[in-house]
Amino acid sequence: MHELALVDQMIRILRTKAREHGATRITRVRVVVGGLSCASPWALRFAFEALTRPQRPEAAGPLQADGLLAGAALDIVERPAVARCPRCGQEFPLDEAMAACPRCGSAGKVISGTEVYLESFEAEVPEGPEGTPKDQVEEPKEDPACLRR
């Protein structure tokens, strides 16, 4: 199950970002999963739970040892894949890799929807600039090495 590796990488990115922003706790993580990505939302959630919520405290690995992600919510945004017709330029959503253009019937070429990435996260930052307890971070558009089809 490579979702475990994906989530493991995401957690490492989150850790780095949290440190950069001086966050002590991450409360919410938003991940975008393309309709044709290699990852299953169900497996991602399972992996996230497994890596952030150990059943027994003594079983905690180095990733969850400091509780940075303890109890963090995971939002998974499923984004349908989009294809573009090479003949007429029509763009259309698709749910399987081979789909025909609704206008001319040519085989569409997938232009988005194979990605999995960390879109944003919310964290508790002690003594924020305006006393805001939450810091919405939108920058990490990193694709954690998704195995593309």
Report whether 85 contacts 102 (CB < 8 A): no
CA dihedral (143, 108, 99, 148) in degrees, to 10, reads: -20
Contact region for Zn ion (CB under 5 A) — 64-72, 87-95, 111-119, 137-145?
Answer: 87-95
Could you tell me which of 14, 33, 12 has the C-alpha nearest to residue 24? 14
How big is the site for Zn ion, counted in residues (CB under 5 A)? Answer: 8
Q: If binding is defined by CB under 5 A, does position 101 make contact with Zn ion?
A: yes
Residue with tokens 């975008």: 32
Burial of 38 (0-12, 13-18, 19+ CB in 10 A): middle
Among 104, 107, 111, 147, binds Zn ion (CB under 5 A): 104
Q: If binding is defined by CB under 5 A, does position 5 make contact with Zn ion?
A: no
Q: If binding is defined by CB under 5 A, does position 90 make contact with Zn ion?
A: yes
Closest approach, Cβ 93 to Zn ion, in A, equals 14
Among 12, 103, 134, 148, binds Zn ion (CB under 5 A): 103
Q: If binding is defined by CB under 5 A, does position 88 make contact with Zn ion?
A: yes
Computed from CA positions of residues 93, 95, 98, 100, in that sequence, does the dihedral angle turn out positive or negative?
negative
Contact region for Zn ion (CB under 5 A) — 25-33, 46-54, 89-97, 111-119?
Answer: 89-97
Q: If binding is defined by CB under 5 A, does position 85 make contact with Zn ion?
A: yes
